[in-house]
Amino acid sequence: MSRLSDYRLLCFDVYGTLIDWEGGILAALAPMLVRNNAQFSREELLTVYHEFESEQQRLTPDMPYSQLLSTIHPRLAQRLGLVTTSEESKQFGDSVGRWPAFPDTVDALRRLSKHYKLVVLSNVDRASFAQSNAGSLQGFPFDLTITAQDIGSYKPDQRNFKHMIKAVQADFGVEPSQILQTAQSQFHDHQLARKVGIKSVWIERPGATMGNQEDPIFDWRFDTLGEMASALEQEE
């Protein structure tokens, strides 16, 4: 049986794994909900959001993520029976860089970086990730950053994983068998990692719902990235 310490590189999904994707979305929707005096459950809002986000990513794979969020915002409002404005939609798209990191994230990244190369493979645009990295990720120095904008498609498209595999082979001499896809979303990451022959670590953030599927696939599972870092340290 392989151990965490047998691998050389962690490939991260950022939003949902390192950054509180769901909390950030809900906070960004709050102005519209308040103005409409509307109340919906967390599950209702995130289910509708995920439906529209995934559909738009399939329809416009080359659209930058911030623009994509602005595009789906009025449709989401319409589905919920709410009224919104173009300014609110723009602010929703611009919110990505302000979404908060999970409390354990930065310390865990520092601990994991002592053993692994750390690579970002994220479904966002370059500008949004740069804002997140400079903000709640405290300028953490990842070894390589790849965004959907760089590739022209969004996960779960296999092109994203194939692009990453080729890049880490060229830059670091790391083979697929030495990579651990480290992510929360089954839909975006774990299912595809298995298809391209990469082992995965499921960071199953407590209460997270978006990207979950009935039959989860993973090789290791932890509630937080901090728990994963502790497990690695116990091996070494």
Point out which residues pair with 9 in neighbouring strands: 117, 179
Instruction: Specify whether the CB–CB gap between 224 and 203 falls below 8 A.
Output: yes
Q: Read off the DSSP letter of residue 7.
A: -
Compute and round to an integer the Cα radius of gyration of the chain: 18
Among 6, 13, 107, 189, which one carries the catalytic annotation?
A: 13
Q: Where do the H-state alpha helices sit in 135-224? A: 148-151, 158-172, 191-195
- CA distances 96 to 62, 92, 110, 234, Å, are 18, 8, 23, 35
Cα–chain-centroid distance for residue 131?
15
CB 49 within 8 A of CB 42: no
Under 8 Å between Cβ of 46 and 22: yes
> Is 13 among the residues known to form the active site?
yes
Phi, psi of 181 (to 5 degrees): -75, 120
Question: Which 3 state secondary structure label does DSSP give 179?
Answer: strand
- Are 167 and 132 in contact by the 8 Å Cβ rule? The answer is no
Catalytic residues: 13
